[in-house]
Structure 1
């Protein structure tokens, strides 16, 4: 009898361990929801990885049962690894044997595929954590110079998306490559813990990758999102993404350190981005019909910039439409139609009065580029973007 009991227990333990016959794929425990945190931290943000992981660990104590958080972690001088973050600590699920380009589309694709295998789930969410520069091409990272107000000032460090300085030369991840690496339909939501990613150009490129996207049209302080506070809302059966945005905004707006009271955040319904592009196309077409120089001749000093570079390239989309209306280039009725569509697209937006030393008099939650002749090589690239193709007349050529 004891032999039979031991034999039965052994069979049960083998089944629980996921043992399979030769040639069969191992079976992994199924979860109701898995959050993948892709931490491309092999750069100046490496020191912020561990504090964010610790915040996630604390947040997991309040997460519903049956949910998991898996983080891909790439930091300077260490082998990239997949770790599971739980309330009790972190467990390594996989370690790559050597350096890896975490700012490469192939790596993003591999990580997502591996997580799908190791952590099967009914639903997934994705956090993209790194440096970022909206829709700008990788070769343009040295194209922009900081404003004099930014140089030498004592401000908290900020971050953007997709940089790996372990590569020589440093590697960057263009928006088009990122979009190609993320499968359609896998993720319910995407959260960008990175600067500038709430640009119309970027969001439009990612419109089929998730139903909702949380991102910032301006910079993100390097400390990132307050994961201890937001983990329960992210991992609910029906995630409360508005609460996530509110927590992020309040976390910085109420910071006792004045320099840290800087945050912009928006929640976008990606199903509405095509309609927003159509409304924007109507605005641009009407403006160019009224004045072919409506954009090239726009006084950009009258438009709200959302970056702090000497030559701005990210402008508040609402501010652009407001300026075209104020100059009589589009009728009030068309501007109102655009604003109504914006409200259906950006379902939540919040911002502090300033982003570090940049006053935010206007911030609708989405940025857009205004073509300028001084950015000749950038304009040539911009014309290849889906947003530009959709919003500008086929025969329109940006002055350069």
Structure 2
């Protein structure tokens, strides 16, 4: 009898707990599905504001797109450096047709150039705006995978963008991600990968609003911390990404990559300076490409006499970035192997588009128009003889995985 009463009591208690849990169930619609982190670190020096003016214009475009879309479709956090030693993290909130900024945290110094410093910022964003998915937009200077410490000589003080109508002066592009005026404000791609890895986040995508970031070395370095990489093989004009038309397509738990790339292309083909290229790389498929490339490298040696005939996608006197598809087509003379490689590469390039030519203004008095004849959507530096490449390429994860 006592045993029966005990079972009855236990059953009632269990039923009560279940009923209580049912009443407190979380509505799946209340869960934040996407947090987009817009990361804009300092890009100048103690006497130069770098790209701050451009960043403010980019933020205006993002906020304009949010107003037009009547909401953020998730949460949007911005990390912005306003000086060499002052940065802030805030949220962009849409309320009744208006944009509001909610301050989250202030930061002193430039610890964001270290893996632990950047990881701390990302963890602050993660704690404040937890989500099922995270995405990151990185604005700044960029010359691909190259290491800041390997640049001992650069043709001119460099910036991300080519033109700035407000200043009415030609602005050459950058030499590496971060600040070009003072490399104490710069960071290598490997540092970014390490920082994101420390947070335990795997980004839905990383969009680089920078020059020269759609290269196999960068994509491979980031493959474990992002599903997709969105970037340009070449230089980016001063206005950067056309956020008014691209934002709605990317600020979503299910980004529309094809339409975003098409929006970029449609904007730039009609722009005053009609030059641009954009690619979405599926980083989850790069290990297969690396394995394929290692086998090809073990079988074939590139004929350096063909270097001058390769499709170049930068404006350096000694090129750094060559079209990857074109390079492998000249390297691998076995038709079956080449077909297998091309199949893998096509699978990894989720979407890509380019104008007829791209523009380079690295050298102040000799801008260049580079005709695109062959384009796979991603570049490689393997055939480059540029001293910066020779100093740095053996340090990359890509080189070590494929040689």
Match of 2:65 in 1: 59
Asked if 1 retains the 8 angstrom alpha-carbon contact of 2:154 and 2:175, the reply is: no
Q: Partners of 1:299 and 1:202 in 2: how far apart?
A: 25
Q: Partners of 1:337 and 1:310 in 2: how far apart?
A: 33
Q: Please show how residues 130-209 of structure 1 align to structure 2 within 5 Å.
A: 130-145=140-155, 158=173, 162-164=177-179, 170-183=184-197, 184-209=200-225
Work out whether 1:349 is the aligned partner of 2:352: yes
Work out whether 1:387 is the aligned partner of 2:392: no
Asked if 2 retains the 8 angstrom alpha-carbon contact of 1:159 and 1:222, the reply is: no
Q: Which runs of 5+ in 2 are unaligned?
A: 1-29, 45-49, 157-161, 164-168, 360-368
Match of 1:286 in 2: 299
- After TM superposition, give the deviation of residue 97 of structure 1 in Å: 5.2
Q: Partners of 2:321 and 2:278 in 1: how far apart?
A: 15
- After TM superposition, give the deviation of residue 95 of structure 1 in Å: 4.3
TM-score, length-normalised on structure 1? 0.79
Q: Partners of 2:183 and 2:205 in 1: how far apart?
A: 32
Q: Please show how residues 180-259 of structure 1 align to structure 2 within 5 Å.
A: 180-183=194-197, 184-255=200-271, 257=272
Q: Partners of 1:161 and 1:59 in 2: how far apart?
A: 29
- After TM superposition, give the deviation of residue 117 of structure 1 in Å: 1.1
Q: Partners of 2:275 and 2:83 in 1: how far apart?
A: 28
Q: Partners of 1:233 and 1:161 in 2: how far apart?
A: 28
Q: Partners of 1:145 and 1:187 in 2: how far apart?
A: 35
Asked if 2 retains the 8 angstrom alpha-carbon contact of 1:157 and 1:221, the reply is: no
Asked if 1 retains the 8 angstrom alpha-carbon contact of 2:320 and 2:389, the reply is: no
Match of 1:398 in 2: none
Worse overlay, 98-107 or 185-194: 98-107
Match of 1:37 in 2: 38
- After TM superposition, give the deviation of residue 109 of structure 1 in Å: 1.0
Q: How many residues align?
A: 346
Asked if 1 retains the 8 angstrom alpha-carbon contact of 2:73 and 2:252, the reply is: no
- After TM superposition, give the deviation of residue 142 of structure 1 in Å: 4.1
From the superposition, tell whether residues 222 and 140 of structure 1 become closer, same or farther in structure 2 (CA, over 3 Å): farther
Q: Partners of 1:347 and 1:82 in 2: how far apart?
A: 32
Match of 1:112 in 2: 122
- After TM superposition, give the deviation of residue 131 of structure 1 in Å: 0.7
Runs (4+) off by over 6 Å: none
Asked if 2 retains the 8 angstrom alpha-carbon contact of 1:304 and 1:319, the reply is: yes
Deviations, residues 240-278 of structure 1 (Å, cap 9, x unaligned) = 1221111112211111x1xx2111111111111111112
